[in-house]
């Protein structure tokens, strides 16, 4: 910890402004954090939280404003300057190099790990051990990063930041990619760490904010709209600061549509990427006009199930009856033609083509049909019109529809996908973690859209690990565990406790 001997008693930013082409990401933001404090920074997707933190780390230069440590102005030209000052950040998209080992990843930014141009990995391992003993953070130094789960990668990021001597820790949405169990573990860990460190914790899950933080600041559209002590406010109040209005997540009224079975999954068997049977004799039926929630800890076959239905993964046994017709092992294109809608788990790689414009992403599934093309030429006028209409209808926040989809925030990317899928009038929808990592406002919007679709008589298979989401939306709830459906409960009568037990594989009858 040589380099950060100087303690940080206070950190302040004043009047920070940052513009991107067409967007004012940070608008005259000021805030302050003291020693051993946990400050929660909350705000909807695209509010400017990440941008502000990147400015603190010296990754972006602010257009206006200054940063003060112990009341002295500092200028960070690069993250190295920020490390020197004792500030470290765990980014929302992890900054790890998949084809290097953990210890090599940490060595990359560590001065002590290099002597006369030669790597001293022993030094890094010693430091990792020190951090591990101090905070109870264990990672295998010799593992390759690509072999690690998301939760493990996050631990590597934490260890890395601490090895660089951070006294002041910034965590950008650390829980958005974690399972509920991993989230709980992280919160406990951070609580302990705050005895020795100061922490800025970005999240839009207000429950976490309540449990963890001392102070809370709210960003909205790039402006700081509220700062105060966490204790004094309820999650609902904080939510209304975030969105500017009261948010209430909509609930399924469960008026029975008495639809016929539209998707029947019979004895499905399929392997995961690692070769074991991720779906092991799975049976489930979804009727028209109902939402079947699939609850379960992620990694129990959800991903494989969604892929098998959509023709992306090979089915090795069983049948998928879609409106009576077996669609098992059809190509994805054929499945789409049959009227299947799909909101994939990984929105950035499977949901959109990031470098394509919003328009191009909207027509991705229909670019050869009469809807958007004529005699093999694209109808650019129609495409522009439809995209602009969807931008309004789905409240996609972007400068215009020719913007690259990948440059949008997660919530807006999800809205683009949803707009495409819904505007195609699907006969069925598979929605996988549709609100993962999204703020309340965006989640509310997406829930409303799903319910509307259901009320129009469309069947929906909703995969989620947020029990609240499942309970609010589902007509029936299937619980998946190790590739099998443990049980199917009625949405009206299901209890969180039973769900939790079933998700853990405990069945008592």
Ligand X SMILES: Nc1ncnc2c1ncn2[C@@H]1O[C@H](COP(=O)(O)OP(=O)(O)O)[C@@H](O)[C@H]1O
Q: Which residues bind another protein (CB under 8 A)?
A: 20, 57-60, 78-83, 89, 91, 93, 95-100, 104-105, 107-109, 113-114, 117-119, 146, 164, 354-355, 404, 406-407
- SS3 per-residue string spanning 416-452: HHHHHHHHCCCCEEEEECCCCCCCHHHHHHHHHHHHH
- Distance of alpha carbon 51 from alpha carbon 61, whole angstroms: 10
Helix (H) and strand (E) counts in the chain: 16, 24
Q: Which is nearer to ligand X, 29 or 158 (CB)?
A: 29
Q: How far is the CB of 288 from ligand X (least distance, A)?
A: 36
Binds ligand X (CB under 6 A): choice among 42, 48, 160, 503: 48
Binding of residue 23 to ligand X (CB under 6 A): yes
Q: Which is nearer to ligand X, 50 or 175 (CB)?
A: 50
Nearest CA to 54 out of 32, 25, 27 is that of 25
- Distance of alpha carbon 62 from alpha carbon 77, whole angstroms: 11
Q: Does residue 468 contact residue 496 with C-beta atoms inside 8 Å?
A: no
Which option in Mg ion, another protein, ligand X, none does residue 113 bind, with CB closer than 5 to 8 A by kind?
another protein
- Distance of alpha carbon 361 from alpha carbon 401, whole angstroms: 10
Which option in Mg ion, another protein, ligand X, none does residue 374 bind, with CB closer than 5 to 8 A by kind?
none
Which option in ligand X, Mg ion, another protein, none does residue 97 bind, with CB closer than 5 to 8 A by kind?
another protein
Binding of residue 387 to Mg ion (CB under 5 A): no
Q: How many Cβ atoms sit within 10 Å of the Cβ of residue 146?
A: 11
DSSP H or E stretch at residue 269:
strand 261-271
Q: Which is nearer to ligand X, 11 or 438 (CB)?
A: 438
Binding of residue 51 to ligand X (CB under 6 A): yes
Which option in ligand X, another protein, Mg ion, none does residue 13 bind, with CB closer than 5 to 8 A by kind?
none
- Most distant CA pair in the chain: distance in Å? 74
Q: Which is nearer to Mg ion, 50 or 175 (CB)?
A: 50
Nearest CA to 249 out of 416, 439, 397, 495 is that of 439
Q: Which is nearer to ligand X, 46 or 426 (CB)?
A: 46
Q: How far is the CB of 400 from ligand X (least distance, A)?
A: 13
Residue numbers 36-65 binding Mg ion by CB under 5 A: 50
Do β-strands 118-119 and 114-115 pair in parallel, antiparallel, or remain unpaired? antiparallel
Q: How far is the CB of 262 from Mg ion (least distance, A)?
A: 37
Q: How far is the CB of 399 from ligand X (least distance, A)?
A: 9
- Distance of alpha carbon 162 from alpha carbon 156, whole angstroms: 10
Which option in ligand X, another protein, Mg ion, none does residue 81 bind, with CB closer than 5 to 8 A by kind?
another protein
**42 bridge partner residues:** 203, 218
Q: Does residue 413 contact residue 356 with C-beta atoms inside 8 Å?
A: no
Residue numbers 398-457 binding ligand X by CB under 6 A: 407-409
Point out which residues bind Mg ion (CB under 5 A).
50
Point out which residues bind ligand X (CB under 6 A).
20, 23, 25, 43, 45-51, 407-409
């Amino acid at each position: 910890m040589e380099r950060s001997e100087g303690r940080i008693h206070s950190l302040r930013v004043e009047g920070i402004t940052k513009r991107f082409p067409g967007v004012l990401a940070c608008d005259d933001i000021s805030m302050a954090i003291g020693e051993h404090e946990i400050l929660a920074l909350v705000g909807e997707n695209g509010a400017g939280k990440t941008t502000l933190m990147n400015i603190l780390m010296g990754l972006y230069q602010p257009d206006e404003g200054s940063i003060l440590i112990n009341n002295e102005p500092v200028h960070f030209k690069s993250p190295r300057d920020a490390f020197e000052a004792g500030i470290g950040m765990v980014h929302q998209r992890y900054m790890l190099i998949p084809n290097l080992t953990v210890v090599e990843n940490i060595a990359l930014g560590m001065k002590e790990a290099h002597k006369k141009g030669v790597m001293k990995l022993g030094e890094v391992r010693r430091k990792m051990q020190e951090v591990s003993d101090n905070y109870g953070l264990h990672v295998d130094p010799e593992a390759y990063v690509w072999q690690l789960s998301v939760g493990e990668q996050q631990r590597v990021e934490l260890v890395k930041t601490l090895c660089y001597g951070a006294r002041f820790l910034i965590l950008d949405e650390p829980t958005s990619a974690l399972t509920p169990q991993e989230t709980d573990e992280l919160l406990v860990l951070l609580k302990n760490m705050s005895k020795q460190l100061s922490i800025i914790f970005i999240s839009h899950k207000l429950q976490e904010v309540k449990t963890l933080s001392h102070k809370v600041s709210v960003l909205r559209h790039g402006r700081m709209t509220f700062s105060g002590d966490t204790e004094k406010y309820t999650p609902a109040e904080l939510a209304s600061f975030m969105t500017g209005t009261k948010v209430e997540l909509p609930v399924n009224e469960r008026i029975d549509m008495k639809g016929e079975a539209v998707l029947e999954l019979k004895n499905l068997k399929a392997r995961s990427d690692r070769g074991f049977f991720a779906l092991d004799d799975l049976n489930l039926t979804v009727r028209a006009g109902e939402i079947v929630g699939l609850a379960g800890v992620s990694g129990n076959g959800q991903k494989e199930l969604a892929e098998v239905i959509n023709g992306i993964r090979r089915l090795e046994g069983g049948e998928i009856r879609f409106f009576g017709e077996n669609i098992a092992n059809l190509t994805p294109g054929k499945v789409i033609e049959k009227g299947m809608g799909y909101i994939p788990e990984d929105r950035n790689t499977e949901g959109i083509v990031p470098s394509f414009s919003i328009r191009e992403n909207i027509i991705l599934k229909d670019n050869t049909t009469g809807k958007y093309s004529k005699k093999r030429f694209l109808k650019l006028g129609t495409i522009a019109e439809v995209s602009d209409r969807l931008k309004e209808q789905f409240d996609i926040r972007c400068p215009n529809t020719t913007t690259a989809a990948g440059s949008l925030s997660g919530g807006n990317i999800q809205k683009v996908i949803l707009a495409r899928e819904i505007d195609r009038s699907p006969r069925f929808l598979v929605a996988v973690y549709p609100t993962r990592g999204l703020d309340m406002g965006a989640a509310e919007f997406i829930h409303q859209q799903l319910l509307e679709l259901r009320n129009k008589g469309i069947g929906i298979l909703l995969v989620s690990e947020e029990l609240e989401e499942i309970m609010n939306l589902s007509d029936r709830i299937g619980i998946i565990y190790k590739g099998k459906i443990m049980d199917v409960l009625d949405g009206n009568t299901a209890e969180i406790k039973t769900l939790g037990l079933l998700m853990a594989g405990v069945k008592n009858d």
